Structure formats: C-alpha cells, structure tokens
Structure 1
Amino acid sequence: MALKVGDQVPSFKAKTQTGEKFELSDYIGKPLVIYFYPKDNTPGCTTQACSFRDQYQDFQDVGAEVIGVSGDTQDSHDKFAQKHKLPFILLSDGNKKIRNLFGVPTHFFGLLPGRVTYIIDKKGSIVSVFDSIKATVHIEHALKTVKKM
C-alpha cells in the first residue's frame, strides 16, 4: 500500500553510496526530501540528480536534506555521485525493500521503477507525495514545499 500525505515515514536502514550505514531515524527532526528514481546514468535520472545538486544549497538553507533512492548498487551510486558531483545521499535499494515500504509504483506495465518524491516534515510525517515520470518537475515542487514548512 502506497504511503500518502499524513502517514508517518517508515523507519529503514540502508547503505549510502560511500558504504556508510544510513538510518532514517537519524534524520528525523529536519525536513527531508526522499526521491525514488529508476536508474543511475540514464538521461532523465541524471537530469533530476543534477537539478537537485544545482539547488542543493537552497534545500540546505531551509534545513532540508535530500536523499535519492534507486535499485542500483552502492558502487554504481558512488560512481554516479562522483561523476556528477552530487552532494547528497544516494541509497542502494537492490532488494526493493525501501521502495516497497513506501509503496512506490512501477510505470510502463511494471517494467520501469517509478519516480516519486516524498517530502517529510521534522516530525516524520509525509506532507507531500509527488508522482511524475517527468524528472525535471520534482525539484521545483520539492523546493516550494520545503520552503513553506
């Protein structure tokens, strides 16, 4: 079942692109932008990641953290982050555990992992769910939402 506005974000653990342990509970207390994307180094996903990179300071200025999640390996994420100088966390979700916790849908008859952005407030409540295959529109929506918080 997909998470929706008003739901508490589920707790989870994962590995970052650098191999560090990540626990969501360590980040509750600040606004979070958790975005799920299909795959590293594809045109849309690269555009989306670089747009978050280019506006990362704007998110930081309002106390928000950006976290990207896909099924790619830690090594793939590390190379992707280094190649594009991504300053935010990328989490590897090869077993789709996190994607399933959030209920992120698939697109194109289940062939393509969905592209969904969740905005979470300081208390861990989801305040926005933005589902669009268009990579470029997520950043504007996310930044506008966190600035209102």
Structure 2
Amino acid sequence: MEVKIGEKPSDFSLPDAEGNPISFYSKLGKGPVVVFFYPKDDSHVCTKEACSFRDNYVKFCDYGAVVIGISSDSVESHRKFIEKYKLNFILLSDLEGKIRKQWKVPRALFLPGRVTYVFDKDGICRYKHEGVMQDIAHVEGALDIVKNISSSSSKIEEATSSSSTPS
C-alpha cells in the first residue's frame, strides 16, 4: 500500500542498530513521527541528510517528534554509521526492502528512493517529500510540518482545557 497524505499505513517492525525489533505503531501516540527512507549508509547525500537530522534533532524533540531512518543496510552497517557520525535517532534495517516495497517508495535509476514522511500522533500521514538528491530539503520540510502539527495540537489542547473550565 502506497503511503498517501491523509492515510495511516499498516504497522511494521524492523530491527534497530542493536538488533532490537521496533514497531512503527509503538512510536505513535506522543507526538509526530518522522520516517525517512534513504538509499545507503555512509554515501555522500545520505550522510548529509542523516547529519542534518542529527543537527536538528533537538528541534524535533522540542516538538515531541520521533525521527526514524530506514534503509536496506544491515544492523551492523547502521551501528557503524551511527558511531561514525554520532547519529542520535533511530535507524532501522529493512534488509530485504519489504517495507520500502510495501510503502511503494520509488527507485531512482539504480538507487533505492529517498522519501520522507511525517505522521501525526495518530499515525495519519501529514507530509510526504520525494527527491533522491534533495538531502537537506527533506529535513527542513519535515521540521516545518512537525512545528505545524505541534502548534495545531497545542491550540486544540488549549481550546479543550479552556472550554472545560467552569465559568
């Protein structure tokens, strides 16, 4: 099933850099979830993208977001990539490309595609950005949407709490 804006994808579970299974749905409920598919650990554009997520990670956390990167690299490759660049977010190994195929992440020539999604706390896709050579644009676009989701949810919470206050 292709993940489209306004839809909620099926749950999945993939191993993180330590080999622990992480499910997508387990990360929902507290705030936005950013999922970005990238072609390859330690390649030029992918490293720039990963380091940009790393450098902006505190901002994502300030808005309650979880960041998850997914590629077809092995758990060991992810572990080395994290150590080398001091990455501070979750990397999942989709070794067989099962989730990439399930979500219909497109290929670009001979490379696996680069797509970033932002989901609200309920798992509804609110943003999708495709672009194999656009490393930083994925991060900037995701951060803008995370800010919007967080501020909208804050306004809803404020309105709910103020409407329940006795007059």
Q: Same fold (TM over 0.5)?
A: yes
Q: Which residue of 2 aligns with 1:138?
A: 138
Q: Which residue of 2 aligns with 1:37?
A: 38
Q: Which residue of 2 aligns with 1:25?
A: 25
Which stretches of structure 1, 4 residues or more, deviate above 6 A after TM superposition?
Answer: none
| Cα drift, residue 25 of structure 1 | 1.6
Q: Which residue of 2 aligns with 1:128?
A: 127
| Cα drift, residue 41 of structure 1 | 0.5
TM-score between the two structures when normalised by the length of structure 1: 0.96
- Ranked by relative contact order (alpha carbons within 8 Å, sequence separation 6 or more), the top structure is 1
| Cα drift, residue 23 of structure 1 | 1.1
Counterpart contact for 1:32–1:120, Cα < 8 Å = yes
Determine the C-alpha separation between the residues in 1 that align with 2:25 and 2:5: 19
Asked if 1:112 corresponds to 2:111, the answer is yes
Unaligned runs of 5+ in 2: 150-167
Q: What is the aligned length?
A: 147
Q: Which residue of 1 aligns with 2:89?
A: 88
TM-score between the two structures when normalised by the length of structure 2: 0.86
Taking only aligned residues, the RMSD between alpha carbons, in angstroms, comes to 0.8
Identity percentage of aligned residues: 44
Kindly indicate which of the two structures has a greater share of residues assigned to helix. 2
Determine the C-alpha separation between the residues in 2 that align with 1:53 and 1:44: 14
Unaligned runs of 5+ in 1: none
Determine the C-alpha separation between the residues in 2 that align with 1:83 and 1:47: 13
